[in-house]
Structure 1
Amino acid sequence: MDDHNNSDPEAASSKAERRRTKIIQTLMSGSSTQIRDLAESLGVSLMTIHRDLSVLEKEGLVRRLRGSVSAEKSLLFESSYNYRGRKNVEDKKRLARAAVTRLEPGNAVMIDDSTTTYYLSEFLLDVAPLTVVTNAAPILEKLRHAPEIDLISTGGRYHPGYHGYFGANCEKAIRSYHVDVAILSTTTIQGLSLYTPDEIVVRAKQAMMQVARKRILLADATKFTFSALNYVAEITDFDLVILTGDIPPDKLDLIRASKVNVEIV
């Protein structure tokens, strides 16, 4: 059913965002999809699907051609940093704020490239001095002049889709450190397992987990919605899992049954 006439503009906007995220997920295989088929699978009119595609086209994420649509090859589809960075901002800030309360002055902290952990940079000065090691270009930019932050870049090959540094040199640098805390997010959580679309991201995250005395995972409710190809780790590999948003009750029950330390914020 088309949501165009939804009387609640905020609800309609949220529904449209979820639908556009599903479109990006559908196109992740890299093959083109008939626009009519996309509308049918999402249960909306052609007018609605074209409106969604117009928005995504302006974002630089998709390309329409003769009744079909495909993801722009220059981007890693749902992994486009700019696209992800504008989603669920308040949830991400809530998670970041909660994570920072678990840090202590003097800690060495490893932070991954996710748009969720980016918001740690807004609160880290509250517990400075800190040493921060990261492969995330936005965090490096935000903290480069921050007082009492000893900032260390992993280096490596820059990846524009993730706005971060990856590859063999990045992983080697990560493994040369031993940190008090690693704070990570994930593309998706299926059952008790974490997945992400790209194996270069997997290797960086796994290296960060290996060199940390304590591991913290941050995730909002959208992380339970989709699947991704590459296995990263188990939720039980983390010392603390901080969640926010409308987590499906069955998913939350499964996590709690695993005896992992969970905090809902």
Structure 2
Amino acid sequence: MRDHNNLDADADAAPSKAERRRTKIIQVLMGGSSTQIRDLAEMLDVSLMTVHRDLSVLEREGLVRRLRGSVSAEKSLLFESSYNYRGRKNVEDKRRLARAALAHLEPGNAVLIDDSTTTYHLSDYLHEVAPLTVVTNAAPILERLRHTPEIDLVSTGGRYHPGYHGYFGANCEKAIRSYHVDVAILSTTTIQGLSLYTPDEIVVRAKQTMMQVARRRILLADATKFQFSALNYVAEITDFDLVILTGEIPADALALFRASNVNVEIV
């Protein structure tokens, strides 16, 4: 699998047979039960050796665990896919959302961006509205923008979390609170009713702090955000000044948003 620091390159290249096979393995294991490795080989119509090679790659990435002829998804994957895996999903939708968000920025803005793989794609386009100040806890955004002209890049610092490929914790939150920005752009793990949830409370605290210091708040979400649940409450969707959505959004969700006077843009 490709390195998660190069998501832009991954998005432009067609996935290899091995990548498609490993994605299929992850999809099977996301059901939450242990699966026999021999059954995976039959399902994929490949040799046991090939499946074991794929599983070795996935194991190194912290996505799966093998035990006596069977394999299961790591617990963390069942609740929140690793950054590497999430970064491969719905890339075109994420780019569409990022492009739409760009229209709501102006040169000279101070912009706070969270660690999500959705908001990562803003880094493809921010140069178009530079000069900007960009504050982020996302390692891939810091790496991508560090040589971009007219981007004043600010890291929140904090404790690095490999699963989210970003910085979190008390020092991160303290740094965020020291700023007042024009716009905060965030995504979410899930949307249930009018509420946003995420599996990890360290992510909750970072997102909530970002929302507190922003004059305007924009949420980016594709249709998959309505398909799952998560444990920790983040915020109400009505706390955002603008919600940008893409994909086949459930009709009942859209009706609820409009009834609640949520400012929704569908792209």
State whether TM-score is above 0.5: yes
Q: CA deviation at 1:17?
A: 6.0
* Distance (Å, rounded) in 1 between the aligned partners of 2:27 and 2:85: 10
* Distance (Å, rounded) in 2 between the aligned partners of 1:244 and 1:70: 31
Matched AA of 2:35:
I
TM-score (norm 1): 0.81
Question: Given that residues 184 and 211 in structure 2 are in contact (C-alpha distance below 8 angstroms), is that contact kept between their aligned partners in structure 1?
Answer: yes
1:117 has 2:119 as partner: yes
Q: CA deviation at 1:63?
A: 1.8
* Distance (Å, rounded) in 2 between the aligned partners of 1:193 and 1:73: 24
1:138 has 2:140 as partner: yes
Question: Given that residues 21 and 78 in structure 1 are in contact (C-alpha distance below 8 angstroms), is that contact kept between their aligned partners in structure 2?
Answer: no
* Distance (Å, rounded) in 2 between the aligned partners of 1:173 and 1:167: 10
Question: Given that residues 35 and 49 in structure 1 are in contact (C-alpha distance below 8 angstroms), is that contact kept between their aligned partners in structure 2?
Answer: no
* Distance (Å, rounded) in 2 between the aligned partners of 1:250 and 1:57: 42
Q: CA deviation at 1:78?
A: 3.1
Question: Given that residues 106 and 129 in structure 2 are in contact (C-alpha distance below 8 angstroms), is that contact kept between their aligned partners in structure 1?
Answer: yes
Matched AA of 2:141:
I
What's the secondary structure of 2:118's corresponding residue?
Answer: helix
TM-score (norm 2): 0.81
CA 1:50–1:66 in structure 2 vs 1: closer, same or farther (change >3 Å)? farther
Aligned to 1:149: 151
Question: Given that residues 29 and 72 in structure 2 are in contact (C-alpha distance below 8 angstroms), is that contact kept between their aligned partners in structure 1?
Answer: no
Aligned to 2:171: 169
1:140-219 matches, within 5 Å, as: 140-219=142-221
Deviations 1:103-162 (A, max 9, x none): 000000000000000000001011100000000000000000110000000000001110
* Distance (Å, rounded) in 1 between the aligned partners of 2:28 and 2:255: 25
CA 1:194–1:19 in structure 2 vs 1: closer, same or farther (change >3 Å)? farther
Query: Which sits farther off after the overlay, 68-77 or 169-178?
Result: 68-77
CA 1:59–1:108 in structure 2 vs 1: closer, same or farther (change >3 Å)? same
Aligned to 2:35: 35
* Distance (Å, rounded) in 1 between the aligned partners of 2:92 and 2:118: 10
Question: Given that residues 34 and 67 in structure 1 are in contact (C-alpha distance below 8 angstroms), is that contact kept between their aligned partners in structure 2?
Answer: no
Question: Given that residues 221 and 246 in structure 1 are in contact (C-alpha distance below 8 angstroms), is that contact kept between their aligned partners in structure 2?
Answer: yes
What's the secondary structure of 1:104's corresponding residue?
Answer: coil
Question: Given that residues 180 and 212 in structure 1 are in contact (C-alpha distance below 8 angstroms), is that contact kept between their aligned partners in structure 2?
Answer: yes
Question: Given that residues 142 and 153 in structure 2 are in contact (C-alpha distance below 8 angstroms), is that contact kept between their aligned partners in structure 1?
Answer: yes
Question: Given that residues 57 and 63 in structure 1 are in contact (C-alpha distance below 8 angstroms), is that contact kept between their aligned partners in structure 2?
Answer: no
Q: CA deviation at 1:35?
A: 2.8
* Distance (Å, rounded) in 2 between the aligned partners of 1:188 and 1:18: 22
1:232-247 matches, within 5 Å, as: 232-247=234-249
- Matched-pair identity in %: 77
Matched AA of 2:176:
I
Aligned to 1:4: none
* Distance (Å, rounded) in 1 between the aligned partners of 2:251 and 2:106: 33
CA 1:48–1:225 in structure 2 vs 1: closer, same or farther (change >3 Å)? farther
Matched AA of 2:104:
R
CA 1:249–1:219 in structure 2 vs 1: closer, same or farther (change >3 Å)? same
CA 1:190–1:67 in structure 2 vs 1: closer, same or farther (change >3 Å)? farther
